[in-house]
Amino acid sequence: MIAIREMQQGDAESVMALDQEIRGPDRSTTWDQYVGRVLEIISLDSMEYAPWGCFVAIDQNLAGQLVGFLMSERQTASYGLPPGARVVAMAVHPDYRRQGVGSRLVDALTAKAKAEAVTNMFAVLLDEDERDAEFLERNGFSSARFRVFTKEI
C-alpha cells in the first residue's frame, strides 16, 4: 500500500538515493538542478519543518521504503506569472510508475494549495521533457498562455 505524506527531515537521504537511482531517460532533464537545493534545506539540523509543498510516497508493504517524491515551492508574482505553487522536482521509482503514485503526489500538493487559498499551480519544463509534459496534462495542468524567449550565447 502506498502512502503519501509531507516530506520530513529524515527523508533527505532516501530522496537523494531515489534521485540518483533514476538516470538517463527515466529522469527529467528539467528538474535536475532543484533536487540538491531543496534537500540541502531539508537536511538542515535547525529546520523544524520541511519546506512548503514537499511530499513523499512510501510503500508501507516494504517497511516504508520511499518510492516517489514531489518538491514544490510557493512562488510570488514573477516572470509575468501570478502567485502560486510551483513544482520544482518530482520522481517516481520506475517500478511504481503507471500506478497513480505521481498523480497522488500532485493531488497532495493540490489539497495543500487549496487549504491555503493558493489558486495557481505551475510546472516549467524544457522541450525535451515530453513525457513529463504528458504526465502534467493528464493531471490537469495546461500549457501557459505566455511564451519564453531564449538567446544562446
Alpha carbons 58 and 44: distance in angstroms, whole number: 22
In a domain, 153, yes or no: no
Rounded to an integer, the average pLDDT of 77-85 is: 75
pLDDT above 70 for 126: no
In a domain, 148, yes or no: no
What are the grid coordinates assigned to 105, written together?
Answer: 503526489
Alpha carbons 152 and 143: distance in angstroms, whole number: 23
Alpha carbons 67 and 102: distance in angstroms, whole number: 10
pLDDT single digits (tens) 9-67:
788 888 888 887 876 555 555 555 566 666 666 555 555 556 789 999 999 988 889 99
pTM of this structure: 0.77
Position 127 confidence tier, pLDDT thresholds 50, 70, 90 = low
In a domain, 106, yes or no: yes
**Domain limits at 129?**
2-138
We report the CATH number of the domain holding residue 32 as: 3.40.630.30
pLDDT single digits (tens) 87-98:
888 889 999 999
Position 152 confidence tier, pLDDT thresholds 50, 70, 90 = low
The total of structural domains in the chain comes to 1
